[in-house]
Amino acid sequence: MLLLKLGYMCHSSWGGSTRIAVNLAGEMALRGHEVHLFTLSPLKMRYRGEDLVKEHFAFPWSHIDCSPATLYTEWRREFIRAYRAKVIHAIKRHGLDILHYHYAVPFAEITKKIKAFSGFQAPWIIGTLHGTDVSNAAGDDRSKLARSLKSADILTTVSCYHASLAERNFRLEEPPTVLPNFTDFHTHPVGGRLKWSRKRLPSKPRIIHISNFRPVKNPMQLVEIFAGIRRYIDADLWLVGDGPLKDEVNRRLRAKKLGPHVRHFGLTHDVGSLIAESDLLLVTSKIESFCLVALEAMVIGVPVLATDVGGLPELVDHGKTGLLYPIDSPQTAVNQAIEVLSNPAQWKRIARAALDKARKYNIRDGVSNYEKIYRELSLPYRMAQESPSNDQRLAF
């Protein structure tokens, strides 16, 4: 079996792209590969309770004026130089076969510069596009990012929608390969005990919203929807996460006299346990490339009510594995929430169907899809090393 030396580049925030990168790195380490994780600041990486991955970071949090809830993409020049130096040092010292970045900004530009660096053997570059790295790029930034993306040997992304958007926005010769996000069903915090096994919904259901409270997550609409639900159902709202709009969301909830029915949890790694104690996940995003938190709710058996945008319809089948509403119609979301929370049979049916679909996004298959790409890239090179006259990769 070909064991590889793998490097992963990701942000230090707690968003979906980081969680996928960390889980992928940890699972690859469990499979025997040598794995290195590169972040700007420490993640305190432990996977299934073990220190499996060699971590490399450029600066501690005290040097960066942001919280783990912030997707920090506008790196200062000294951060980029320090980060790039860490990666180059690891490549030269450990001889990485693969360098895989998660999120294009700023990693596509960094890997482009690494490829251009002379004096060492460059690894294969794989880039995974996750979110606003594709949807928000515009003007000169889009042109610059497009040039950087083309330096990758393989581009992947997490949904068909996002692949089409990337191909169009960056004028790629072909769309990125679609490798959906995944979650670990067998080690989930609920331990396989699903909420839909209960005979009925509670008299006071809990609605949960999990996000980084950025404008793209559209949290102000959350206030409007919850206020509408409260007119008909005695429900509670759980808010999980932190971000720039969270204080404004709380102010508006208090203005509508909804404060007593809202509970705040802030940033937490134990998202699964909170979802397991909830009855409906509400997603109000303006755009989602995939929506990992929706998958995490589905695998626990909690129905999802989400905007009909981006890659969400590929994960949530409206009326079957969840509910979707037009982003410009919050009243539709109110009506759908009232219906499903007032109908235990419908709630249970959706929860069961959601679980069945979520099984298709298991970590075993998700990681194996990436591992196959790594092997397909690395095996010809390993063979070429044994026959130098047939070397298929250039040394810089």
Span 82-106, pLDDT tens digits? 999 999 999 999 999 999 999 999 9
Q: What is the DSSP letter of 269?
A: S
CATH fourth-level superfamily of 195-360: Glycogen Phosphorylase B; (3.40.50.2000)
The DSSP element (H or E) to which 335 belongs, if any, is: helix 330-341
End-to-end CA distance of the chain: 28
What residues does each domain of the chain span?
5-182+362-390, 195-360
Token pair 């030269």 in the structure block, residue: 92
Cα–Cα distance, 273 to 275 (Å, whole number):
5
Q: Give the model's pLDDT for residue 390.
A: 44
What was the pLDDT predicted at 42? 82
Q: Of 265, 267, 258, 312, which Cα lies nearest the Cα of 285?
A: 312
Q: Does residue 279 have a pLDDT over 70?
A: yes
Fold of 5-182+362-390: Rossmann fold (3.40.50)
For the segment 198-207, the average pLDDT, to the nearest whole number, is 77
Same topology between domain 5-182+362-390 and domain 195-360: yes
Mean pLDDT of 229-241: 97
Q: What are phi and psi of 126, to 5 degrees?
A: -120, 130
What is the predicted pLDDT for the residue at 13?
85
* Long-range CB contacts for residues 194-203, cutoff 8 Å, separation at least 24: 194/300, 194/301, 194/351, 194/355, 195/276, 195/279, 195/300, 195/301, 195/302, 195/351, 196/301, 196/347, 196/348, 196/351, 196/352, 196/355, 199/344, 200/344, 201/279, 201/341, 201/344, 201/347, 202/279, 203/234
Among the residue ranges 35-44, 281-290, 341-350, the one predicted with the least confidence is 35-44
Q: What pLDDT sits at residue 53?
A: 83
How high is the pLDDT of residue 393?
A: 44
